Structure 1
Amino acid sequence: MTEEYIYAVARVRSRELNLLSRQDVDQLMACRTYDECLRTLSDKGWGDGDPSAEAILAAEEEKTWAFIHELTDDLTPFKVLLYPTDYNNLKAAVKAVVTGAEPRDVFLPGGAVDPELMLRCVREGDFSELPETMAAAADEAYHTLLQTEDGQLCDVILDRACIADLLQCGRESGVEILRDYAELTAAVSDIKIAVRACKTGKSRAFLDAALAPCGTLDASSLAVAACKSLDDLFAYLSVTPYGEAAEKLRESYSAFEKYCDDRVMDLIKEQKMNPFTVGPLFAYVLARRNEISTVRIILSGKLNELDDGMIRERLRDMYV
């Protein structure tokens, strides 16, 4: 391990002390109103002065990546987290050009590829400046949308390419946590696609095009089950490592999403005892994303005056 990582992990351990604990979450839950929640977050140092909820949460995401940039110049291991943003921006660029719409407020911040570069590549029909896999997917999605005007098919092409890139990045990293996170993300994506396709009566051809092969699910078996019924789909999942996912899906989609996020927390908690790789840095970013998601759930619940019991059912496990 390089001295850079020794120093970086030490700094991460120090920052972990500021992560929200279960007690902090309980304090937010004890707030009687949405505005009181915002004040409590401000008292904890969240945000950058703008009192709106989205500004506070966006500021915390920016702080996270600013800290990672301080620790290392090599963001290659973090591409697993950045690909979804990049491919969402690529979808926006392709659709904006094909429809002739002005791309206002359609790009997400924080990706690895400049959205303006994507936009220029699509306008010029030359994708050579994009990463190789992304370039091929962008070219296919662009011409497919031009020919068919099928926005969903465009999304399918880019979503599958995103998962393929994410899996390759995880496997080539040589870091267990990155590989396992990429695999879990791919499997969860396939499960979500299969459930939606089953409910909307999508064809086997659609599923074959949309599902991304991964190591812990058989895409063909998943597609066959999804073409039959939800019960058949859940029965297939029950004999995979995602048997609990089927149980949560039977309960509710929000229970399934909580299960997925909690599985990620289970993965990264192992990094607390690992001082010798980039793993703790990766785990810190995911821990921050998890607490931001948890705060968003609480704020949304308070804003809509939901019963505290309903909010608590959706709260994620915390890293600390």
Structure 2
Amino acid sequence: MRDTEYKGINTQIRVAETKLFSREDYEKMLRAEGLRGALDVLKGTDYYFDEQEVLHTKNFDQFLMARLQTVYDELFEMTPNREVVEIYTLRYSYHNLKVLLKQKLKEVDLEHLLIPIGKESISTLRNLVKTEQSEILDPIIVEAVQHALEDYKTFERIEAIDVYMDTYYYKHIRAIADELNNATISKVVDVMIDLDNLSTVIRSLNQQKSRSFLHTVLSSSGSIAKQAIIDAADQGKGALSELYLSQPYAKELDAILGDSRAEINPMMLDRIIEEIIDELMDEGKYQAFGPMPVVAYIFAIEKEVTNIRLILVGKDNQIDDQILRERMRPIYGS
């Protein structure tokens, strides 16, 4: 990957950023009178919907995901290295595999949970789940499905489907990062995996999960070895804190890991993790060259969809505006 390849697209990204929701836009939605008022704020934006249908069905995801799908389709066309975009769309592909596998194994209708985002079509993924083979898909995806189905045939653990798809998703984006051979992309992937492992291990410790459970659910694709995390978890919070407080993002984690005697609140940890990733995106979005402005824009549009969904659901359920503000993800440019 050559960073200079991104000079043209980064100019286009700057234009696209001007359409992202500002703090003022969110405030208009928050102050709006009910769900209808919040939807009125969305009129004239790139979120297209039938107002009467949405008011009747309350199916916000249909038009929110349609907007996200359009953005990803455009980015796939624009980006010199499509794999940069795929790092994020693969999350939807592996989500769809979870749905399709559970449909097959439990014989239930979960079609409404499928999300048509990503390079791999749902029909291609469906065929993989049916045949357990594919000449089209990446071997990592094929292996993920084969191992998940093999595990179910042996142990009948439906919950293992989620574990397999999550760990293979991280294995897949690690392979993409290694192939791209770009230091910035590698750093982003490291942070994503390492911090998700931290969140997982804290929750597992609070639930008194076994060492073997950690071996199963933690990803081995990050910059911190899975075995090192498990060994540190065995020794207690102090050792785990020491391991993570030696990382580049240690300053942000110190507030919650610095005191080895205090309990770690998983929700507070997740909030700090969001802030760390947000700061990483802020560092990269103004680069003139390289893929980071694209990555930062993807991060921003994903957060925008999350925030809009939160406000619409909140308005529909008459949740106080201040509570919604507190639950919102960081706002782009703020």
State the identity as a percent: 21
* 2:144 aligned residue (130, 137, 140): 137
| Counterpart residue number, 1:18 | 19
| Counterpart residue number, 2:116 | 109
- The alignment partner of 1:19 has SS state of coil
Residues 65-116 of structure 1 deviation map (CA, whole Å, 9 limit, x = unaligned): 2432442475222121022111122222222223334552242221222222
| Counterpart residue number, 1:30 | 31
| Counterpart residue number, 2:131 | 124
* 1:307 aligned residue (292, 316, 320): 320
| Counterpart residue number, 2:192 | 185
> Once the 2 structures are TM-superposed, how far is the Cα of residue 315 of structure 1 from its aligned partner?
2.2
Residues 257-301 of structure 1 deviation map (CA, whole Å, 9 limit, x = unaligned): 333333222222233432222332222122111122222222233
| Counterpart residue number, 2:332 | 319
How far apart in 1 are the matches of 2:231 and 2:264?
Answer: 23
**Higher RCO (CA 8 Å, separation ≥ 6 residues):** 2
How far apart in 2 are the matches of 1:229 and 1:30?
Answer: 46
The residue correspondences of 1:142-221 to structure 2 (distance < 5 A) are 142-221=149-228
* 1:57 aligned residue (61, 64, 86): 64
Q: What's the TM-score once normalised by structure 2's chain length? A: 0.82
How far apart in 2 are the matches of 1:90 and 1:140?
Answer: 13
Q: What's the TM-score once normalised by structure 1's chain length? A: 0.85
Shifted more, 83-92 versus 237-246: the winner is: 237-246
Distance 1:29 1:248, change over 3 A: farther
Q: Does 1:79 align with 2:86?
A: yes
> Once the 2 structures are TM-superposed, how far is the Cα of residue 145 of structure 1 from its aligned partner?
0.8
How far apart in 1 are the matches of 2:311 and 2:265?
Answer: 19
Q: Specify the code of the residue in structure 1 equivalent to 2:49.
A: G
Shifted more, 142-151 versus 70-79: the winner is: 70-79
Asked if the contact 1:127–1:138 (Cα under 8 Å) also holds between the matched residues in 2, the reply is no
How far apart in 2 are the matches of 1:200 and 1:185?
Answer: 23
Q: Does 1:263 align with 2:270?
A: no
Q: Specify the code of the residue in structure 2 equivalent to 1:139.
A: Q
Distance 1:20 1:156, change over 3 A: same
Asked if the contact 2:314–2:324 (Cα under 8 Å) also holds between the matched residues in 1, the reply is yes
| Counterpart residue number, 1:298 | 311
How far apart in 2 are the matches of 1:247 and 1:112?
Answer: 39
Residues 21-54 of structure 1 deviation map (CA, whole Å, 9 limit, x = unaligned): 22222232222423211111224x1421323332
Q: Specify the code of the residue in structure 1 equivalent to 2:325.
A: R
Asked if the contact 1:92–1:106 (Cα under 8 Å) also holds between the matched residues in 2, the reply is yes
How far apart in 1 are the matches of 2:319 and 2:265?
Answer: 17
How far apart in 1 are the matches of 2:129 and 2:184?
Answer: 34
Q: Does 1:223 align with 2:230?
A: yes
Residues 165-220 of structure 1 deviation map (CA, whole Å, 9 limit, x = unaligned): 11221233233442222112212321232133223332111111221125443423
Q: Does 1:274 align with 2:287?
A: yes
| Counterpart residue number, 1:47 | 47
Shifted more, 3-12 versus 204-213: the winner is: 3-12
Report how many residues are paired.
319
Distance 1:99 1:222, change over 3 A: same
Q: What stretches of structure 2 of length at least 5 have no aligned partner?
A: 55-59, 258-262
The residue correspondences of 1:229-248 to structure 2 (distance < 5 A) are 237-238=244-245, 240=247, 241=249, 244-245=252-253, 247=255
How far apart in 1 are the matches of 2:76 and 2:251?
Answer: 38
CA RMSD of aligned residues (A): 3.0
- The alignment partner of 2:143 has SS state of helix
Q: What stretches of structure 1 of length at least 5 have no aligned partner?
A: none
Asked if the contact 1:265–1:317 (Cα under 8 Å) also holds between the matched residues in 2, the reply is yes
How far apart in 2 are the matches of 1:248 and 1:296?
Answer: 29
Distance 1:141 1:89, change over 3 A: same
Q: Specify the code of the residue in structure 1 equivalent to 2:166.
A: D
